[in-house]
Structure 1
Amino acid sequence: MQRVLKLAIAGLFLFCIGWFIETNYADLPHYELLLVAAVIGGYMALNIGANDVANNVGPAVGSFALSMTAAILIAAVFEASGALIAGGDVVQTVKKGIVDTSLIKSDQVYVWVMMAALLGGAIWLNIATALGAPVSTTHSIVGGVMGAGIAAAGWQAVNWGSMGAIASSWVISPLMGGIIAAGLLLLIKKRIFFREDVLEAAAKVVPILIALMAMAFATYLSLKGLKHIVKLNMWQAASIGAITAFAAFHWVRPRIHARLTQLNADRESVNDLFTMPLICAAALLSFAHGANDVANAIGPLAGIYDAIANHGVAAKVSIPTWVMISGALGISLGLALFGPRLIRTVGSEITELDRSRAFCIALSAAVTVIIASQLGLPVSSTHVALGAVFGVGFLREYLDNQLGATIEQVLKAHGDAAHGELEARLHQFYEAEPEDKNRVLKQLKKMGKNGVLTKQESKHLRLLFQRKLVKRQAFLKIVAAWLITVPVSAGLSALFFFALRGALLP
């Protein structure tokens, strides 16, 4: 019943878009095409909200920094705000210059290409969401434009250099995100959780980390989130980031010190210090996403409107207010109705996240995009965020296995005495977090020859310690979905182009 209600609300949203076109643009020639295109654009926006926004808030939900309801509310508000405030008033009609529009014979064929691209990309996003696979919406629409462009004008219409750069992002984006996130988590472990006095260590390190996050997000928003409002170069954006970091450090530091006096000297207490930064990160990532990715839904739609209204094809067009509003509302509504499944996938179904790990993922997303943009490397924000989740999980696996090898060395040093106390210590070791295992190992070493395990028991114990902290099935499913996004979107769009041409040609 709940699913039927969600589908009814989404259907009502699409009906309202169609009614608006019928009411205001019925005097345009071929307005029926605009009506269908507007509904498809709304459908694309719903699917962007259902699939792509999960990357921004999933880690905060998975680490229990935000409830699902709060995350959806924050993301919906900031996604819509980013789209409406910073989405720009001009948009590229063909994303990334994938297709040479001069090879498309007429404005009518161009409209069919854009409609097919939107529909192909949207249906693939819908399928991926149903499968629980977060994929890149940018790659979906790029594949759609490519497939429809090939169907309309042949293989020569595609800019294969741009497509090669996009294909390289399948590797670059997750690797960069994963390496940076894992590096940040290792820093937190070594500088805070592996220390004897975690509260004293947190008092020194956490304010610096929060200042780093403030700098990264201020720079990120200056370069990306607000690029349609004000154009800033890297030095200007970095200066804004440095000033923000300085202010954040001096504002946060005394509050962290005051908070630490009320906390216990354990991991959970230190994790609480990352709650507010995570909430802010979810909001800022959503704002930047709304500002940038709304174009995936409204770019082709704005191009279709311009072609129908002005009887021509343009590389860039102005965005009518109704187009921007439908894109912004569609993303927010898609998130609220169908986003929770993907939020749970990102937040908890790949690897277990606490707030320090989620903090590393959020910070990695901003830092990676900044570095990549300055190096001219193509990255997908979706792949960066998921790569960061994988990086955090695989780092935890590595540390666990390293500690398992160390415990074997400890066991070999034991003599033939009774091993009751040793078993108790080993059970404590297995249940502990990696940073706590260091303390248990020290206790085991102090025991000397107070216990022993047989070779068979030692082998069994070693296997127990080799835990897989990244769920392989989820990992393989997501990577497979990434690899087929462009070709599947392209194939669907080509089919829809031929269907449209067959139905509309006299």
Structure 2
Amino acid sequence: MTTASRVSKTFTPVYHAKKRKSKLIAKRGVAFSPRRHNRKPTPRTPWTGPAARLRKHPVQQGFQRTPLSRKFDPESSKMVLHQFDYIFAIGTIFAFLDAWNIGANDVANSWTTSVSSRSISYIQAMVLGSILEFAGAVGVGARVADTIRTKVVDVDQFEENPALLMVGMMCAILGSSLWLTFCTKVGLTVSTTHSIMGGVIGMGVALVGVNGITWADFSKGDISSGVVSVFLAWIIAPGLSAAFAIIIFLVTKYAVLLRSKPVLRGLMLVPVYFGITAALLVMLIVWKGGSINVNWMTNAQIAGIVVGAGAAWAILVAIFLVPWLYRIVVKDDWQLRWYHIALGPLLLRRPEPPIQPEGAKGGIRDFYEGHLTKEQMEELLTAERVRDEENTANEAKTASDAVSDNVRSDNDQPEGANAPADNFPQEKKIVGPKPEGPWYNSAVLFWYFKWLFLRGVDQDIVNLQHKRTFLSGDLAAIHSHVPHYDNKAEYLYTFVQIMTACTASFTHGANDVANAIAPYATIYQIWQSGALKGSKSEVPIWILCFGGAGIALGIWTYGYNIMKVLGNRLTLHSPSRGFAMELGAACTIILATRLKLPVSTTQCIAGATVGVGLCSGTWRSINWRVVTWIYMGWIVTLPVAALISGCICGIIINAPRWGYKGY
């Protein structure tokens, strides 16, 4: 029986007279041509990779292309590759683990500076981060993603064996998620984009060979294609971010912070800062917002929207926020709360505030609390040296003398030091100590419930960052090289810093969620239809929710482990410095998105932090141990993820099976 006679039993052809060339159209909407199906198939170039031997495998029926009637008729046959349900199940588990690691490892970059500078508490940052990451992923996440997002393997090579790509993507997700889990545990901040790229490279080498990998492709002027983009990102992302952040901070430093009246100058520039920041962040959302399509708009229209949004936001800030800030920083109105911002100009008619009682909430916190200047550090070291000499001279010590040797009195500290560098004020714990009693006691059960859901956000990041480890070194000495600016002037930058972090978190969820769900969407598409639909994979809304939930859960439960490695451990943070770091990283992402430059948010924020640290102090104000640790993570990510993925994929496709002798 010929192919045409077999298929004719399934399809009833109907002649279509309106077409120039006569065609036969199936009742189910599938085009059919007897001439096309009766002719001999065009010979294809044989594969040269290790997967070529799968064609000879007697039990490899699942890897062959599905019959025509099933392949192109998804309405009549759903989930056609049920023999590979286990691949879909494994892919589901590890895709969620990959998304969880993106939240725990990558999302920390958006909020580290805000938390480290004390512009926002850690639990507030985690609440905002979880909501905005999920909203960005589901609201404007890409509905259509690249099948192989990093463009290092050509999907046409899997046209005859789409299920083989399904196996490869499962191995890529395995390699990426396992490596990210290890990095997140040891506190190694890495690029999740490069991690999934390494997984794809590993499975590509195992399936189609080394020659099937796109190592470099400059033919179309798109340097984001190919493995070479990773090496370019090591230079482009940190360098551009550092340059933008340095420019922003130097303008802030010499226009506001070093002036005779920095608070008043800062108040005058607050609307300008907010307007420029809003315009840049609108550009970031438009150009890097996943499913947001602006191709129908002209450049003039886009520019008008960006400028209009920035101007409108600046006007709103001038009307409502500036009067509120004036009452806080100039009048010391400690009774004001954030919801009083809505009163706007009416706040200027408030009476003078009373003297703030001891222990009352409100007012401006000291952003440099616990950090010593260079002069204070020298005085403290001198006092310790003199005390040690006196103790050595006295052979007989009383008990009180021994206690005074180990405990520093307040009189020994230099004037202006708020606390020793290793003794920061402790934040109040939410979970608290475990109550006494059996495990089934209601109080104990409630404590377990709080520990399970709130332990991840019940962390004191600033204190964790100052714990001495092999990476931290002498942080007190490093921070002493950074000058301290007016505390009230620093307060002016807290809101614009939080706004920048919120927008960066939203756009990160919209764009980088594809690192986890794009390979998973490919697995789902092939498992559902048995076919490979080109270089793009449709992403259902439930997969976006799936990935967004994983990212939100990751930042909520384990984001602190990466955040404690960055921030103040890299250089001293304050609101003005953190604002410059975040806006510099955002500018780099905007430019890179427009020019199609391969950058990572991890590398952008790291470069911006080093740049601001250098121009706010000296080269001694940077912890170069942490910089080396970060760069090491970038360098080893791609080869390690590729090795894990390639080994797993090679073992699977070359494993012995019943009825097959592989020797």
TM-score class normalised by the smaller sequence: 0.7 to 0.9
Query: Which deviates further from its counterpart, 467-476 or 135-144?
Result: 467-476
The reply on whether 1:475 has 2:627 as its aligned counterpart is yes
CA contact (8 A) 2:248 2:580 kept: yes
Cα distance, 1:364 vs. partner?
1.2
Structure 1 CA distance, aligned partners of 2:565 and 2:139?
A: 30
SS at match of 2:171: helix
Q: Secondary structure at the match of 1:352?
A: coil
**Cα distance, 1:230 vs. partner?**
4.8
Aligned to 1:490: 642
* 8 Å Cα contact 2:273-2:496 kept in structure 1: no
Letter aligned with residue 148 of structure 1: M
How large is the Cα RMSD of the aligned pairs?
A: 2.2
SS in 2 for 1:99: coil
Matching of residues 92-111 of structure 1 within 5 Å: 92-104=146-158, 106-111=161-166
Aligned match of 1:407: none
1:211-230 matches, cutoff 5 A:
211-225=275-289, 227-228=291-292, 230=294
- The equivalent position to 1:353 in structure 2, one of 570, 573, 579, is 573
In structure 1, what residue type is equivalent to 2:329? Answer: L
1:190 aligns with 2:254: yes
2:584 corresponds in structure 1 to: 364
Query: Superposition pairs for residues 271-420 of structure 1, below 5 Å?
Result: 271-314=490-533, 315-398=535-618
Report if the CA contact (8 A) 1:181-1:391 is conserved: yes
**Inter-partner Cα distance in structure 1 for 2:657 and 2:612:** 53
SS of residue matched to 1:317: strand
Equivalent AA in structure 2 for residue 253 of structure 1: A
Instruction: Report whether the alignment pairs 1:85 with 2:139.
Output: yes
Contact 2:589–2:601, Cα closer than 8 Å, also in 1: yes
Q: Which of 269, 292, 315 lines up with 1:250 in the alignment?
A: 315
Which stretch of structure 1 is more off in the superposition, 337-346 or 249-258? 249-258
The verdict on how the C-alpha distance between 1:27 and 1:219 changes in structure 2, with shifts beyond 3 A counting, is: closer
Instruction: Give distance in 2, aligned partners of 1:313 and 1:27.
Output: 13
One-letter amino acid of the structure 2 residue matched with residue 395 of structure 1: C
Query: Equivalent residue of 2:145, what SS?
Result: strand
Q: Which residue of 2 aligns with 1:149?
A: 204
Superposition deviation, residue 346 in structure 1? 2.8
Larger radius of gyration: 2
Aligned residue number for residue 259 of structure 1:
325
The answer to whether 1:165 aligns with 2:165 is: no
Normalising by structure 2, report the TM-score: 0.60
Range that drifts further, 216-225 or 260-269: 260-269
Following TM superposition, the consecutive aligned residue runs of length 4 or more in structure 1 with deviations greater than 6 angstroms are 24-27
Gaps of 5+ in 2: 1-77, 217-225, 332-484, 659-663
Q: Is the 8 A contact 2:279 2:307 kept in 1?
A: yes
Distance, in Å, in 1 between the alignment partners of 2:592 and 2:146 is 21
1:500 aligned residue: 652
Q: 1:268 to 1:248 in 2, by over 3 A?
A: same
Q: Letter of the aligned partner of 1:212 in structure 2?
A: I
CA gap of 1:228–1:197, structure 2 versus 1, over 3 A, is closer
Q: Deviations over 1:337-365 (max 9, x none)?
A: 11111123233221111111111112112
Paired residue secondary structure (1:97): coil
CA distance in 2, matches of 1:258, 1:48: 37
Aligned counterpart, 1:119: 174
Instruction: Compute the displacement of 1:137 (Å).
Output: 0.6
Structure 2 CA distance for partners of 1:371 and 1:320, relative to 1, 3 Å: closer
Please state if 1:45 is matched with 2:103. Answer: no
Which residue pairs with 1:428 in the alignment?
A: none
By how many angstroms is 1:55 displaced? 0.8
Matched, 1:140 2:292: no
2:329 partner SS: coil
Deviations for 1:173-230, whole angstroms, at most 9, x for unmatched residues? 0110111111111111100111111123213333212211111101111111254455
Question: Is the CA contact 2:135–2:509 (under 8 Å) kept in the aligned structure 1?
Answer: yes
Cα deviation for residue 82 of structure 1 reads 0.6
* Superposed displacement of residue 163, structure 1: 1.5
Structure 1 contact 55–343 (Cα < 8 Å) conserved: yes
Q: State how far apart, in whole Å, the 2-side matches of 1:168 and 1:323 are.
A: 31
- Counterpart of 2:3 in structure 1 is none
Question: Hey, what does 2:349 align to over in structure 1?
Answer: none
Query: Deviation at 1:234?
Result: 5.2
Q: Give the conservation status (yes or no) of the 8 Å contact 1:61–1:344.
A: no
2:527 partner SS: helix
The CA deviation at 1:486 is 1.2
> 2:574, 2:656 → 1: CA distance?
54
- Structure 2 vs 1, CA of residues 177 and 144 (structure 1 numbering), >3 Å: closer, same or farther? same
Q: Aligned letter for 1:368? A: T
Q: CA deviation at 1:275?
A: 1.7
Query: Residue 324 of structure 1: CA displacement?
Result: 2.0
Aligned to 1:178, the other structure's residue is in SS state helix
The answer to whether the Cα contact below 8 Å between 2:201 and 2:642 also exists between their aligned partners in 1 is yes
| Cα shift at 1:264 | 5.3
The sequence identity of aligned pairs, in percent, is 30
Name the aligned partner's letter for residue 93 of structure 1: T
Equivalent residues of 2:80, 2:527 under 8 A apart:
no
Q: What's the counterpart of residue 121 of structure 2?
A: 67
Q: Summarize deviations over 1:247-271 as a string: whole Å, max 9, x none.
A: 1222223432552354259711111
- CA contact under 8 A between 2:113 and 2:567: conserved in structure 1? yes
Q: Distance in 2 between matches of 1:131 and 1:110?
A: 32
Identify the structure with the greater helix proportion. Answer: 1
| 1:203/1:257 contact within 8 Å kept | no
- Write out aligned runs for 1:424-443 (5 A): none
Question: What SS does the corresponding residue of 2:518 show, helix, strand or coil?
Answer: helix
CA distance in 2: counterparts of 1:321 and 1:227, whole angstroms: 12
Q: Secondary structure at the match of 1:91?
A: strand
Secondary structure class of the residue paired with 1:165: helix
SS of corresponding position for 1:160: coil
Output one character per residue of 1:3-44: Cα deviation in whole Å (capped at 9) or x when no partner: xxxxxxxxxxxxxxxxxxxxx979833211111111111111
Structure 1 gaps of 5+ residues are 1-23, 399-466
